[in-house]
Amino acid sequence: MIHAHRSTFLRPRTFALAAFVLAVTVSLVTATTAGATPLKRWQGLRWHKATTGSVTISQSRRALRFTLPSTLTGDATATYYTRCKMGHNFAAQVRYRLVVWPPANGVRVGLLVNNPDYPAQLDNSVTTERTSFGATGDVGSGENYVQNGIASGGGFIVQPTAAMRGTLRVVQHAGTITSQYRDATTGGQFVTITDSAANPAIAPDYGAPVSLGLQVWSGPPVFAGPAKVTLTKFRITSGHCTV
């Protein structure tokens, strides 16, 4: 069963406990370099891969494809996270496509700025998400873009959306982490996630080097599958990632 962290907000690492660490392997993902000169050195970048529960990943040179079954008996999380770490100022993005996506399915699709101690500490990362809140037992409702910035001292910012494909982007600059999106409604521009009270998705940064992550996660009682998600064209458009 999925429990809200501190009875208020769902955290991505709530779904993945000790088994998550035990499942870590090293896999190869090729980053797309078109239009992102700083990424040229990332060809053949190695990522760490970690999974727990009934989620499968199909990896090709261009895409990661995540599949969750019709039902889950326990929490399911699949994560790719970088071996290297980013410095203080950077921007990164990834395209998402919701291939099989029933309403209120309880699945989160996230671009993560991990806490500095990750993966020794699996909780407490800042997430930029395309999320479908579950119909039962979840912390919200409907289809949304989300920033969960509570871990670094920010808020939980939710903005409704109907987009089935688009781009998630995170920008860390001058001590803050900003969560953005681009889809068919934004005229080709990135827009900061903003809630109904006009609060922007801006959280404090960690003040230390961080890894980045790509993650899909869900679990009972919020999950209602099946679901399939494709992530492509991950790129770092500014900043440097060093081992």
Q: What is the mean pLDDT of the chain?
A: 84
- Would you state the structure tokens that stand for residue 62, as one six-digit string? 């261009």
- For residue 43, pLDDT beyond 80: no
Q: Which residues constitute the domain of residue 25?
A: 12-242
Per-residue model confidence as pLDDT tens digits over 148-171: 999 999 999 999 999 999 999 999
In a domain, 231, yes or no: yes
In a domain, 2, yes or no: no
Distance, first Cα to last Cα, the chain? 36
CB 77 within 8 A of CB 66: no
Closest CA to 74 of 24, 131, 15: 15
CB 2 within 8 A of CB 111: no
What Cα–Cα distance (Å) separates residue 54 from each residue in 169, 185, 200, 218? 27, 33, 34, 10
Q: Based on the structure, what is the number of domains in the chain? A: 1
Phi, psi angles (nearest 5°) of residue 37: -50, -40
The confidence band for 46, taking pLDDT boundaries of 50, 70 and 90, is confident
- Would you state the structure tokens that stand for residue 189, as one six-digit string? 């521009």
In a domain, 16, yes or no: yes
What pLDDT sits at residue 243?
A: 80
Q: Does pTM top 0.75 for this prediction? A: yes
